[in-house]
C-alpha cells in the first residue's frame, strides 16, 4: 500500500510520536542526570539569563527552547560563585581566588558583589599608572596556579563571564581569557590566550573561553583573566567577573556550580534519555526525525542510538568533529555519510528502517542515502549517547519524532522540511 502525504503528516501530529518539542520532553522518555553536590544550568528564553537545575531535571536552552543534552564534566574551580569577598581597597578576594593589582603604581579595589542574569559576580576596579618600567600583567585567578593537577597531552578549557561596568579599556594592551600550563614547580610552560573586548552588554551574553593541550612536563592547569598594561600605561577600568569554569575538555560546556555555601569542585552528570521502542508502537519498521544544533564539534557524538541493550547490535547516528553526519551498524561499521553540518547552525536529519535490514538516511538539504545490512530486532531508543554512555552529545534537540513505519525518501524530505 502506498502511503500518501496527508496521512503521514497526520501521524506526525500524534502525541505518541513526539518525544521532544520546544520546552517539552515526554514523560515516557525520562531524563536522568546524576549530580549531588552541584547544579548545572542552561540559557534562559531571553537569551541572556542563566537558570540553574538540580539532578534529573530536563534543561531547555535559549529562545528556541531546545532540549540540552551534555556529557559529564567537572568544574575544577571551587568557588565560581565568588563567595567570601569583602569590599574595599584592595578588599578581600573571594575564597581560593588570587587577584593581583596592588603595587607598581596600580591600585585594586573590590567594588561590589551581586547577581546579574542569574550569575553571581564580583566587580574589580584597577586604576593607576604602570611604574614597573616594563609591561605589567594583572591576573584575576579563581584558583592558585597549582590547584588543578593536569598531565601532558590533556586538553583543558577555561571560561568566564566578563563585562565592562566602569571606566574604559583605554590604556590596556589587552584583556584576555587564559588557559595556562604549569610545571611541577608552578612555572608557566604553555599558554593559550583569547582576547576579549568586554562591553556594557548584559553579563550573561559575554562568555569568553580558551583551550590548551598540555605540553610535556605539564603538572597543573591554571585559568585566569589577564590584563596587560604597557610601560607607563595609565588605566581605570572596572570589570564584572562571574562563573569562572575550568574543564578537562576541548570545548566549553554549560556552567557547573557547587551548591550555595559549599565551595568545591563540582560535577554535572551526563544527560541520559532512553525509552523502549515498544512504548512508541515500534515493532520493527520505524522512522526517526531529529532537528536541533550542536554548538561545538569534537570527537564523534551520537544524535541518537537504536540498540538491543548494547553497542554491537545497533544503528547509531554519529556526527564527527568534521561535521560529517554518519550511520553506523552493526557495531562500528560505517553504512553511510549523509552530509556535513556546521557547528552552531540548526539542521535536521531523518533515518528510516524497514525492520528487515534495509533503510535510508537523509540530511535536510542533501540527497537520500540508501542503507543495507542494518541491525534488526532493536528494542531501545537513546538520545545523545551509546548504550554504555559513551560518545556523548553536547547539543540541543528541538524536535525528535519517532513513527512506527518506514518513510520513503520523498516523505522524509517533506517531514524534515516541515520541522522548524
Same domain, yes or no: 115 and 262:
yes
Same domain, yes or no: 62 and 179:
no
Residue found under cell 557524538: 301
Q: Which of 215, 233, 267 is the last residue of a domain?
A: 267
In the chain, the largest separation of any two C-alpha atoms, in whole Å, equals 85
pLDDT < 50: residue spans in the chain: 1-16
Residue found under cell 580558551: 210
What per-residue confidence (pLDDT) applies to 17? Answer: 82
pTM over 0.75: yes
Length of the chain: 420
Same domain, yes or no: 212 and 323:
no
Q: What is the C-alpha separation between 292 and 397, in angstroms, rounded?
A: 4
Q: Which of 218, 242, 267 is the last residue of a domain?
A: 267
What b-and-e string marks burial along 64-77, b requiring 16 or more CB atoms within 10 Å of the CB? bbbbbbbbbbbbbb
Burial class (CB in 10 A: 0-12, 13-18, 19+), 205: middle
In a domain? residue 84: no
In a domain? residue 376: yes
Q: What is the C-alpha separation between 283 and 378, in angstroms, rounded?
A: 9
Same domain, yes or no: 240 and 283:
no
Angle at 323 between CA 322 and CA 325, to 5 degrees: 120
Burial class (CB in 10 A: 0-12, 13-18, 19+), 104: middle
Q: In a 3-state reduction of DSSP, which class is residue 313?
A: coil
What per-residue confidence (pLDDT) applies to 4? Answer: 39
User: pLDDT for 75-89, tens place per residue?
Assistant: 999 999 999 999 999
Same domain, yes or no: 303 and 201:
no
Distances (CA, A) of 179 to 77, 211, 248, 249, 348: 13, 6, 11, 12, 35
What per-residue confidence (pLDDT) applies to 323? Answer: 98
What per-residue confidence (pLDDT) applies to 68? Answer: 98
With DSSP H G I counted as helix, E B as strand and the rest as coil, what are the percentages for the chain, rounded to 5?
5, 45, 45
Q: What is the C-alpha separation between 282 and 226, in angstroms, rounded?
A: 56
Q: How many CB atoms lie within 10 A of CB 128?
A: 19
Provide the domain count of the chain.
Answer: 2
Q: Which of 267, 287, 312 is the last residue of a domain?
A: 267
Q: Which domain holds residue 114?
A: 98-267
Q: What is the C-alpha separation between 31 and 56, in angstroms, rounded?
A: 6
Output phi, psi for 272, to 5 deg: -120, 125
CA atoms 108, 114, 115, 116: torsion sign = negative
Same domain, yes or no: 379 and 357:
yes
The CATH number assigned to the domain holding 41 equals: 2.60.120.200
Q: Report yes or no: 14 and 287 within 8 Å, Cβ to Cβ.
A: no
Q: What is the C-alpha separation between 420 and 369, in angstroms, rounded?
A: 22
What per-residue confidence (pLDDT) applies to 420? Answer: 81
Return the DSSP state at 271.
P
Same domain, yes or no: 344 and 385:
yes
Same domain, yes or no: 164 and 306:
no
Q: Report yes or no: 382 and 400 within 8 Å, Cβ to Cβ.
A: no
Same domain, yes or no: 176 and 290:
no
What per-residue confidence (pLDDT) applies to 15? Answer: 37
Same domain, yes or no: 243 and 324:
no
Q: How many CB atoms lie within 10 A of CB 35?
A: 20
Amino acid at each position: 500500500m502506498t502511503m500518501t502525504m496527508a496521512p503521514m503528516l497526520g501521524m506526525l501530529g500524534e502525541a505518541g510520536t513526539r518525544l521532544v518539542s520546544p520546552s517539552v520532553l515526554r514523560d515516557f522518555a525520562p531524563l536522568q542526570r546524576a549530580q549531588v553536590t552541584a547544579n548545572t544550568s542552561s540559557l534562559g528564553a531571553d537569551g541572556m539569563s542563566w537558570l540553574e537545575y538540580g539532578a534529573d531535571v530536563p534543561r531547555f536552552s535559549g529562545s528556541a527552547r531546545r532540549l540540552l543534552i551534555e556529557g559529564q564534566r567537572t568544574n575544577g574551580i571551587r568557588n565560581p560563585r565568588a563567595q567570601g569577598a569583602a569590599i574595599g581597597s584592595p578588599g578581600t578576594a573571594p575564597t581560593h581566588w588570587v587577584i593581583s593589582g596592588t603595587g607598581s603604581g596600580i591600585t585594586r579595589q573590590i567594588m561590589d558583589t551581586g547577581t546579574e542574569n542569574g550569575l553571581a559576580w564580583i566587580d574589580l576596579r584597577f586604576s593607576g599608572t604602570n611604574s614597573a618600567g616594563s609591561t605589567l600583567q594583572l591576573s584575576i585567578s579563581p584558583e592558585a596556579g597549582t590547584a588543578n593537577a593536569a598531565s601532558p597531552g590533556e586538553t583543558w578549557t577555561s571560561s568566564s563571564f566578563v563585562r565592562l561596568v566602569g571606566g574604559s579599556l583605554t590604556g590596556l594592551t589587552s584583556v584576555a581569557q587564559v588557559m595556562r600550563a604549569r610545571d611541577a614547580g608552578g612555572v608557566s610552560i604553555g599558554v593559550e590566550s583569547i582576547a576579549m573586548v568586554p562591553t556594557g552588554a548584559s553579563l550573561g551574553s559575554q562568555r569568553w573561553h580558551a583551550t590548551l593541550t598540555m605540553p610535556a612536563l605539564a603538572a597543573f592547569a591554571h585559568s585566569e583573566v589577564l590584563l596587560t598594561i604597557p610601560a607607563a600605561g595609565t588605566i581605570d577600568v572596572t570589570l564584572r567577573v562571574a562563573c569562572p569554569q575550568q574543564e578537562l575538555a576541548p570545548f566549553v560546556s554549560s556552567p557547573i556550580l557547587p551548591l550555595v555555601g559549599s565551595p568545591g569542585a563540582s560535577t554535572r552528570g551526563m544527560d541520559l534519555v532512553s525509552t523502549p521502542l515498544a512504548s512508541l508502537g515500534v515493532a520493527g519498521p520505524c522512522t526517526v526525525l531529529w532537528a536541533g544544533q550542536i554548538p561545538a564539534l569534537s570527537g564523534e557524538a551520537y544524535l541518537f542510538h537504536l540498540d538491543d541493550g548494547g553497542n554491537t547490535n545497533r544503528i547509531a547516528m554519529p556526527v564527527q568533529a568534521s561535521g560529517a553526519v554518519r550511520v553506523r551498524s552493526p557495531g562500528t561499521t560505517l553504512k553511510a555519510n549523509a552530509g556535513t553540518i556546521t557547528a552552531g547552525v540548526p539542521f535536521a536529519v531523518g533515518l528510516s528502517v524497514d525492520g528487515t535490514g534495509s533503510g535510508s538516511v537523509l540530511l535536510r538539504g542533501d540527497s537520500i542515502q540508501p542503507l543495507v545490512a542494518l541491525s534488526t530486532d532493536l528494542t531501545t531508543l537513546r538520545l545523545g549517547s551509546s548504550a554504555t554512555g559513551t560518545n556523548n552529545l553536547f547539543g540541543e534537540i528541538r524536535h525528535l519524532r519517532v513513527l512506527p513505519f518506514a518513510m520513503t525518501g520523498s516523505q522524509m524530505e517533506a517531514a524534515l522540511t516541515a520541522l522548524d
